[in-house]
Structure 1
Amino acid sequence: MFETRRWPSKVILQIVITLLVLPFIFPLISMIQGSLAGTGWNNYRVVLGISQLPLFFRNSVIISASVIAIVYVCTMLAAFAFSKLHIRAKEVYFWLLLAALTLPEVVLLAPLFATATAIGIYGTYLSVILPLAALQIPFTVLLARNFMDGIPNELIDAARVDGADTWKAFRYIVLPLTSPIAAALVVLTLIGSWNDYLLPLVFLQDPNLQTITQVPDFFIGEFNNDQTKILAAAVLTAIPEVVAYLLLQRLFERGLSAGALK
């Protein structure tokens, strides 16, 4: 981290940051403007009037909350092991885990479909929850391990001197110090699971199990393609993620910056 104390440096830095943000702001502005085109706020009323919308929202909440819980538990345990425990060849295992980052979701559809069918979870929440969690864990472990590397080993050694075993040192010493990176993991995992379209579309054929990302499909058909309603649905879909980020913004920024730099 660095600080700018002189006002010319602050002005230059602000200009640079603004220019970097603009490419991400323009699509958002266009999406909101497009959602208000035509009949204006009536586009949102039509989307909110979909009878299945509460059901889709509930399904998305169940999937996202389950993915967040699995990713958090697995990430914290794995990051602690990779960072603080003496495990033979742990760096080999760590890089093998990171190799999973190179696997795109679409390439895994066929083996995931075969696996879900073989073990009997196809058409259930688990067929989406487990792959989504597995796809996000490598990146979250990378961030969390770098964060835990910054926690002094002397704290754990002191806990062991006082009679604490490894589990107690993790639970009572390390885990309370990881709230910033935990907030970052929650936000990133929420974005990845809430926005996922492909896996629910393929593995959840039951209309009662569809997620909120399928709402725009109501306005796409053989003879119609109402872009204003689709954009309105996209804006409504993004609201929970924006709220989650605003609530965890300060911890998210601290955790992400600390987890990205070793």
Structure 2
Amino acid sequence: MFETKTVRARLFLQILLAIIVLPFVFPLIAMVQGSLAGAGWGNYQTVLSLPLLPGFFINSALLSAAVILIVLACTTMAAFGFSKLHIRGKEIYFWMLMVALTLPGVVLLAPLFATVTQIGAYNTLWAVILPVAALQIPFTVLLARNFADGIPNELIEAARVDGASTFRTFWHVMLPLMKPIMAAVLVLVFINSWNEYLLALLFLQTPEQQTITLVPQFFVGQYNNDQTKVLAAAVLTGLPVVIAYIFLQRFFERGLAAGALK
């Protein structure tokens, strides 16, 4: 751990963090500057005047909310089971789940496409919701299990002695104590699901079903390539994520640090 008790140590840490952040800040600055080139704020007015833009925002919000609910439910229950329940062979199941972290999403596109078309979910939000949730669960379970391991086993045993069932123990004892890591998972999943582009591009074909990340494609075509409008659309797409992170930053950092360290 860094010791930041002295002014010199704090100053050095601030300078170091500023240097580390610079490579990530420059592209954002370039994006905002590019979005204001040419027509200036008129680029944003053009993007906001798209008739289907409210529908894109609603679809992205529905997708993100569904993914968050699925991931939180699966993650908390899996973390409780892997950490506190006596399940035969649970470590084998856990490491089988961790193997999924090594699979890049691109490798799964062909089988996902075949599965989605076979079950009739093509061009529906569920075609994106379920794969996005499934791809995020292994990492969130890893974080949540580490956090759950830090909760004293005596609390679980006390609930069992009092006659609480496994579900009541999970709901009334475990779940309230897992709020910090749940907040971190919420922010992480929201960012990933809101910014999902590849699966949305592949599975959502009609404008009525498409999400906000696909808005820039309306300004790129065979005879049109207005990069200023594309950058303006990208800025508007990223604003909800930035706002959400600003308001939930404290909970995200606290939960992520607690979940990453045992």
Common fold: TM-score over 0.5: yes
1:157-176 aligned at under 5 Å gives the runs 157-176=157-176
1:73-152 aligned at under 5 Å gives the runs 73-152=73-152
Per the TM alignment, residue 241 of structure 1 is displaced from its structure 2 partner at its CA by: 0.8
Structure 1 partner of 2:242: 242
Per the TM alignment, residue 54 of structure 1 is displaced from its structure 2 partner at its CA by: 0.5
Question: What is the CA deviation profile of residues 103-133 of structure 1, one whole-angstrom value per residue up to 9, with x for unaligned ones?
Answer: 1111111101111122222222211111111
Secondary structure, in 3 states, of the residue corresponding to 1:81? Answer: helix
Structure 2 partner of 1:52: 52
Separation (CA, whole Å) in 2 of partners of 1:61 and 1:18 = 33
Separation (CA, whole Å) in 2 of partners of 1:236 and 1:96 = 39
Per the TM alignment, residue 206 of structure 1 is displaced from its structure 2 partner at its CA by: 2.1
Matched, 1:218 2:223: no
Question: Is the Cα contact below 8 Å between 2:67 and 2:193 reproduced in 1?
Answer: yes
Amino acid at match of 1:68: I
Question: What TM-score do you get using the length of structure 1 for normalisation?
Answer: 0.97
Secondary structure, in 3 states, of the residue corresponding to 2:124? Answer: coil
Show structure 2 runs of 5+ residues with no match. none
Identity %: 66
1:170-249 aligned at under 5 Å gives the runs 170-249=170-249
Secondary structure, in 3 states, of the residue corresponding to 2:93? Answer: helix
Question: Is the Cα contact below 8 Å between 1:182 and 1:255 reproduced in 2?
Answer: yes
How many residues align? The count is 262
Question: What is the CA deviation profile of residues 145-180 of structure 1, one whole-angstrom value per residue up to 9, with x for unaligned ones?
Answer: 111111111111111122212211111111111111
Question: Is the Cα contact below 8 Å between 1:179 and 1:251 reproduced in 2?
Answer: no
Separation (CA, whole Å) in 2 of partners of 1:34 and 1:183 = 34
What is the aligned-residue RMSD (CA, Å)? Answer: 1.2
Question: Is the Cα contact below 8 Å between 2:3 and 2:9 reproduced in 1?
Answer: no
Please list every run of at least 4 consecutive aligned residues from structure 1 whose deviation after the TM superposition is greater than 3 angstroms.
none
Question: What TM-score do you get using the length of structure 2 for normalisation?
Answer: 0.97
Per the TM alignment, residue 37 of structure 1 is displaced from its structure 2 partner at its CA by: 1.2
Separation (CA, whole Å) in 2 of partners of 1:24 and 1:149 = 34
Separation (CA, whole Å) in 2 of partners of 1:180 and 1:34 = 38
Per the TM alignment, residue 71 of structure 1 is displaced from its structure 2 partner at its CA by: 0.5
